[in-house]
Amino acid sequence: MIKEGDTVWLKDKKNSFFVVLKKGEIFGTHKGNIPHDEIIGKNYGDTVKTHKGHEYILLKPTLYDIIMYGIKRKTQIIYPKDSAYITLKLGVTDGMKVLESGIGSGGLTIVMANAVKPNGKIYCYEREEKYIKNALENIKLAGLERYVETFNQDLSQPLPENEFDAAFIDVREPWLYIENIKKSLKNGSPVGFLVPTTNQVSMLLEELEKHKFINLEVMEILLRHYKPVPDRLRPEDRMIAHTGYLIFGRKI
């Protein structure tokens, strides 16, 4: 049963909306208004009508749905094809303290926050306050705000030492901050980075080697969708190909 505080996906053939339910409030669409109270108490898969009679299906959104279709983007996001791998590669799980720098629109933060609950937390360092505000609204849409703490600063400023079980860094020039990042990690902890160009990868690798990081890896992840038509099965005409290079290593 749908209850107050849930995030519900309202969907018809052409449009979709994500709504965090609160008693007494009204959600407005171009097809009419829907009181939240008329959704609360229904079941997922039911329908609800606006005051103009337009019908929407009520769906329970996955984190993928929220990240791809629900969040407001003020920056490029880390796509689920990368964020799921990053989370697994870093071993992010319940109870961990994870450093993230470059919160962006919160796409990766949502995935990692879901992995550390109920006893862990993601500590996000971001120098642009406008990105923090937007990302936190997106994280609230996923209902994961209690597992995220934000700091309006970049990695050039001191970080807590020997604090974090893992780290992921998505900033323009990560090689400038390797010493600070290394000090903040517990010994043996994994760290990951995302950069968009090969020259950035080279500069980062040089600095990681200089600071004695081990198990260095570089990769990119490609995802190709197919048209779901049984008698004409073929790849989609477009694909999200290169989104960034992923670099991983461990502190010793």
The answer to whether residues 125 and 175 belong to one domain is yes
In a domain, 1, yes or no: no
The answer to whether residues 40 and 72 belong to one domain is no
The answer to whether residues 50 and 114 belong to one domain is no
The answer to whether residues 78 and 202 belong to one domain is yes
pLDDT higher than threshold 90 for residue 241? no
Q: Sorting pLDDT into bands at 50, 70 and 90, what band is 48?
A: very high
pLDDT higher than threshold 90 for residue 38? yes
What CATH code is carried by the domain that includes residue 165? 3.40.50.150
Averaged pLDDT for residues 29-47: 95
In a domain, 2, yes or no: no
The answer to whether residues 114 and 128 belong to one domain is yes
The answer to whether residues 229 and 195 belong to one domain is yes
What CATH code is carried by the domain that includes residue 36? 3.10.330.20
The answer to whether residues 96 and 206 belong to one domain is yes
The answer to whether residues 141 and 230 belong to one domain is yes
The answer to whether residues 129 and 235 belong to one domain is yes
- Nearest CA among 98, 30, 108 for reference residue 66: 108
Averaged pLDDT for residues 60-77: 95
In a domain, 89, yes or no: yes
- Nearest CA among 1, 25, 21, 24 for reference residue 9: 21
The answer to whether residues 159 and 52 belong to one domain is no
pLDDT of residue 61: 97
pLDDT higher than threshold 90 for residue 201? yes
pLDDT of residue 242: 85
pLDDT higher than threshold 90 for residue 70? yes
**Tokens at residue 12, please?**
């018809």
Is residue 145 within 8 A of residue 136, CB to CB? The reply is yes
Mean predicted lDDT score pLDDT of the chain: 96
Averaged pLDDT for residues 221-242: 92
End of a domain among 15, 37, 61?
61
The answer to whether residues 124 and 189 belong to one domain is yes
Averaged pLDDT for residues 239-249: 91
pLDDT higher than threshold 90 for residue 218? yes
Query: pTM value?
Result: 0.92
pLDDT higher than threshold 90 for residue 240? no
Instruction: Give the residue ranges of DSSP H helices in 124-243.
Output: 129-141, 178-184, 198-210
The answer to whether residues 223 and 103 belong to one domain is yes
- Nearest CA among 108, 52, 69 for reference residue 246: 108
Is residue 186 within 8 A of residue 162, CB to CB? The reply is yes
Secondary structure element (H or E) that encloses residue 41, with its range: none
Q: How many domains does the chain have?
A: 2
pLDDT of residue 239: 84
pLDDT of residue 170: 97
pLDDT higher than threshold 90 for residue 10? yes
Q: Which domain holds residue 87?
A: 65-250
According to DSSP, residue 216 is labeled E
Averaged pLDDT for residues 225-251: 93
73-77, 141-145, 170-174, 238-242: which has the minimum mean pLDDT?
238-242
